[in-house]
Amino acid sequence: MDLTPAEAAAVIERHDCSRCQAPAGSPCRTRSGKTAARYHTARFTVVPALREELSVTVPEDRNPGRPWQPGPVPAGPARPAGEVTPIRIGYARCSTAGQELGSQVTALEAAGCKRIFSEKISTRIKIRPELEAALQLARDIKQAAPGQDVIVTVHEIKRLARNAAELMTLTAALQADGIQLELLTGPLTGSTTRTGSGPCCSPSWPSPPSWTVTTSGRKPSKASAPPRPKATTAAAPRSSTRT
C-alpha cells in the first residue's frame, strides 16, 4: 500500500459512501448510527492505491464504535481514479472435510486474488455462504465503481458448478452485473472478457447462448437422407395411322 493509515483515511474520506451515505470528509457509519470500524469497500475502491486492499481500518481518532459525527468538508477536489487495475476475488471449495483447500488457495493467490473465500460444502447444496459472500463483494465493488474491472476467480469448473449449464446460468447473472468470471484450469480455462485482451489474457468465452457443450469426443453423425423416390414416366400412347 502506497499510503499510511492516516493518508489512506484522508483520501478515502474525500468521497461519499454509496453504502452508508456518509458524506465526504466523514468516516463510514453502521446501521445503528455508530462510526464503523472499517471503511466500506464500496467507498475506497475509487482510490487507486487502495483498490486491491478490500479492507481498510478507520483510524482511532474517528472514534470507531461511538456515535457517528460528521467530519469536516475536505478541501480540494477528490483524487482522480487513474488507471483501472482489475480486482480479483477468489473462491475455493471442496466437498468433504478430508479434502484440502491449500492447493486451490495457492493457485488463487498466484493469480492475483487479494481476497479469497473458501468453504467445505457440496455443490448439491444450492446456497453456499462463502460463494454468496464472494459474489456479493464483487457486486458491491462494481456498484461503487462501475468503471472498475471485477473478476471472480475459481480454480476449475467443478469448484463452482456441477455442469456447464449451471456455469452458464451463473456467468449470465454475473455478466448482467458487469462482473467477469475466470477459471484457472480445466476444459473451460479462461475468462468472460469480451475482447480477450488486457489483464485477462486467457481465451475469451462466448456469451452463454452460443456455448456448445459436448459430452464425448465423437462427432455427431449426419442423419441419413431418405431415399429419393424413383422417377416414373408414363408411356406415351401409340398413335396409329389408318390409310
| Amino acid identity for residue 214 in this structure | T
* Cα–Cα distance measured from residue 229 to residue 171, given in angstroms and rounded to the nearest whole number: 49
* pLDDT in the model for residue 231: 53
Is 70 exceeded by the pLDDT of residue 75? no
Q: Look at the pTM and tell me if it is higher than 0.85.
A: no
Q: What residues contact residue 190 under an 8 Å CB cut-off, 6+ apart? A: 182, 183, 200, 202, 203, 204, 205
Backbone angles phi, psi at 91, to 5 degrees: -135, 125
- Residue 178, sorted as left (phi over 0), alpha (psi -120 to 50) or beta, turns out to be left
Is 80 exceeded by the pLDDT of residue 152? yes
Q: Calculate what percentage of the chain has a pLDDT beyond 70.
A: 71
The single residue of 95, 118, 216, 239 carrying the catalytic annotation is 95
What are the C-alpha distances in Å from 127 to residues 84, 123, 131, 213? 32, 9, 8, 25
* pLDDT in the model for residue 210: 38
For residues 180-190, average pLDDT: 78
Q: What residues contact residue 10 under an 8 Å CB cut-off, 6+ apart? A: 74
Quote the cell numbers at residue 99. Answer: 479434502
The burial of 219, by beta-carbon neighbours within 10 Å (0-12 exposed, 13-18 middle, 19 or more buried), is given as exposed
Q: Is 55 a catalytic residue?
A: no
* Cα–Cα distance measured from residue 19 to residue 41, given in angstroms and rounded to the nearest whole number: 9
Is 60 exceeded by the pLDDT of residue 118? yes
* pLDDT in the model for residue 238: 56
